[in-house]
């Protein structure tokens, strides 16, 4: 027991030290225009496709959840390694081309200086801002990981219970408030029918729909996701619906998601579960009634997420190409 306690203590110290070595405007001297370049490229892509911020948010979360925020999700597979992005939960990730575009622009300005991990973190921050969230100050100084393996990928399923999902969040140092808040990112973007098809037709093997889904929403989603067109074995071709069915602004990051949760109009089972526990339902009600509180806490939780198991100092590397490990 004593050995286990010491091991946990060492890991916590390492985590705190890594996070504390990140700095606001880390590239002020080495690449002064870095953050301006990132924002400019993200804005260009958002103008062409307003769903980009949602794609970046999901890409960022899937990266930070495995190994920490080290851009390992961006690495391509090789002949002798199947990378994280090939794992089933990652096959519908989007936004890789945005990161490639930013990296190319930064390499012209400051070769070998800005990490892919920071690019992904900054691009996601700017996507949040451009879609209605706050433009929070983000500490930078992350370095890039050199390991990306499909077998390491364990992502919470949309059908997870809140307690199962919370254990995953707690495993990377986030708490119930962070989880409830970060799920608010589901106010933007699209969702594949395959992620919730069981709620429409055969919830938990009953042959019936999920009783916790609003009947009007059930009818709407059944029209958009008839069972004969849902392709679970090839989800990249699966139909999509707007993630936030309660909102008239599906590409705006706001507290509308929580109105949907409270009226049983959440698309995903995990999201709907927020309405059924004491603390999460109280938070959902607070966010729905006070959107500014949600925006402020979302920024705090995103900064906290971005500090998970980061590589700094001499750890890792600065990839010259975000898709490949140097050398």
| β-bridge partners, 144 | 317
CA distance 222 to 200: 7
pLDDT digits 0-9 by tens, 101-123: 999 999 999 999 999 999 999 99
Point out the annotated binding site for Ca(2+).
63, 68, 70, 72, 84, 244, 249, 254
Residues marked as binding? Answer: 63, 68, 70, 72, 84, 156, 186, 244, 249, 254
Give the phi and the psi of residue 33 in degrees, each rounded to 5: -95, 10
Q: What parts of the chain have a pLDDT lower than 50?
A: 1-19
Give the tokens for residue 286: 């607070």
Cβ 227 vs Cβ 177: under 8 Å: no
Q: Which of 175, 203, 194 is CA-nearest to residue 297?
A: 175
Residue 18 is predicted with a pLDDT of: 47
The 10s digit of each residue's pLDDT in 13-36 is 444 444 458 999 999 999 999 999
Just list the catalytic residues: 62
CA distance 54 to 43: 13
Residue 168: its pLDDT value, please?
94
Pick out the residues of the known binding site for substrate.
156
CB distance 144 to 71 below 8 Å: yes
| Tokens at 235, concatenated | 């989800």
For residue 113, how many C-alpha atoms fall within 13 Å in the half-sphere facing its CB?
A: 18
Burial class (CB in 10 A: 0-12, 13-18, 19+), 187: buried
Annotated binding site for heme b: 186
């Amino acid at each position: 027991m004593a050995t286990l306690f010491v091991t946990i203590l060492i890991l916590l110290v390492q985590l705190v030290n890594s996070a504390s070595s990140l700095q606001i405007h880390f590239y002020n001297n080495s690449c002064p225009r870095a953050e301006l370049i990132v924002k400019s490229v993200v804005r260009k892509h958002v103008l062409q496709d307003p769903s980009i911020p949602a794609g970046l948010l999901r890409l960022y979360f899937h990266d930070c959840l495995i190994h920490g925020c080290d851009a390992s999700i961006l690495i391509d597979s090789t002949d002798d390694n199947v990378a994280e992005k090939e794992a089933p939960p990652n096959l519908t990730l989007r936004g890789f081309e945005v990161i490639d575009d930013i990296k190319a622009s930064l390499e012209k300005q400051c070769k070998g200086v800005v990490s892919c991990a920071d690019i992904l973190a900054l691009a996601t921050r700017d996507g949040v801002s451009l879609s209605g969230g706050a433009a929070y100050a983000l500490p930078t100084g992350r370095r890039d990981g050199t390991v990306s393996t499909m077998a390491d990928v364990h992502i919470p399923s949309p059908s997870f219970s809140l307690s199962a999902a919370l254990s995953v969040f707690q495993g990377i140092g986030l708490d119930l408030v962070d989880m409830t808040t970060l799920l608010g990112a589901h106010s933007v973007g699209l969702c594949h029918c395959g992620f919730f098809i069981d709620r429409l037709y055969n919830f938990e093997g009953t042959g019936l729909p999920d009783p916790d889904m609003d009947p009007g929403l059930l009818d709407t989603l059944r029209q958009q996701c008839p069972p004969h067109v849902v392709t679970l074995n090839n989800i990249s071709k699966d139909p999509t619906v707007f993630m936030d069915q309660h909102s008239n602004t599906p590409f705006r990051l706001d507290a509308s998601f929580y109105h949907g949760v409270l009226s049983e109009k959440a698309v995903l089972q995990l999201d709907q579960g927020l309405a059924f526990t004491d603390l999460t339902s109280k938070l959902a009600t607070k966010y729905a009634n006070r959107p500014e509180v949600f925006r402020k806490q979302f920024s705090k939780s995103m900064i906290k997420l971005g500090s998970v198991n980061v590589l700094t100092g001499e750890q890792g590397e600065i990839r010259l190409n975000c898709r490949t490990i140097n050398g």
